[in-house]
Structure 1
Amino acid sequence: MQFYLETERLILREIQDSDVNGMFELDSDAKVHHYLGRNPISTKQEAKKNINFIRQQYKEFKIGRFAVIEKKSGEFMGWSGLKLNKGKKEALNGYQNFIDIGYRFIPRFWNKGYGLESAVACLNYGFTKKNYNVIYGAADIENIGSNKILQKIGLQFVNEFDYKYEQNIIKVNWYELKKENYGK
């Protein structure tokens, strides 16, 4: 699969094995995982496993999370993209086999509009190139930044649900955007 998108400040491309250091920096950071179950990784082998999972999604479903590279520095910033949540194992809020939009950035890239910029590009790609009928999003109710991004790109709040992660129950907002409402 070949994937490449550009925005004003970003390059979105396939995650590669060579991104292991960036993925480790991202997913080993406790701040990044504050709203994601508070279970950061602790080894580069775990980062490699995450890369392999994403690359398998590319092969199987022709979609996945993509590396976000800052144009001016060439630095790996995190990832953004669409993902097929397949089967019972990846079910969420009673949904199976759905496309969701997500993004995750290394903290030094927070609060600069990169999440919104990448999400706009990915949403457009999903509706115009992949021709999806509906795209979903979910965010911990306390993650104000992520909730704002989902709302700014046009996803509509549907409901709040409890997500059980290990021993924790997290309150999560669920959003959706149907293709016929995209851009309105």
Structure 2
Amino acid sequence: MKQHTRTGMGSREGARTGTRVVVAAGLAVATVATVGGCAFTRPRVQVPTYFPSPTSTGGYNPNDPTPSYGSTPTYEPTYSPSPTMETFDPDGRSDVSGRNCDFSNSLRQFTYTVSITNPSTTDSFSYDMAVNWMKAKPADGKAYGLHERSIIVGPGDTETYTAKYTVNQSSIGQFWYTCQITRAHKTRM
């Protein structure tokens, strides 16, 4: 008589045992993967090299849903300053310049070209001018001649004229002289 060895159990019992074997095998693989650290490959993530700062222009802070722009933009209205009175200085020598300080032996005459520029944009001024031709060597304060004139200059305009002084002496030797604008008193018209 032949003997049969039963290696398996009934169909129900065999299915449970087979499931246990599969679960046990799965746990063994999971344990090996956890302990070994590389049984399963991890997904590769590429990290960007530039992270915009939340304070950089157009940056986004995930904790603050509104964008930040470095400094908070302010929306203050701008107003033009109200027109103010122009400052007035009656000493107009800063408005005046001179050139071509000269003496003509044949005419026995001093000349000096004077330019007056009115800095005001709204007012006309009358300039009371005085030009002196002074002794230069030695500079002892002596004046050879004086020219006086009043001239009106409109707003923003420049007036130029030649100041003249004729010497009464018939013959003049060699001498040193300078030209000076000694007065430019201005009054509003």
Q: What's the TM-score once normalised by structure 1's chain length? A: 0.19
Larger radius of gyration: 2
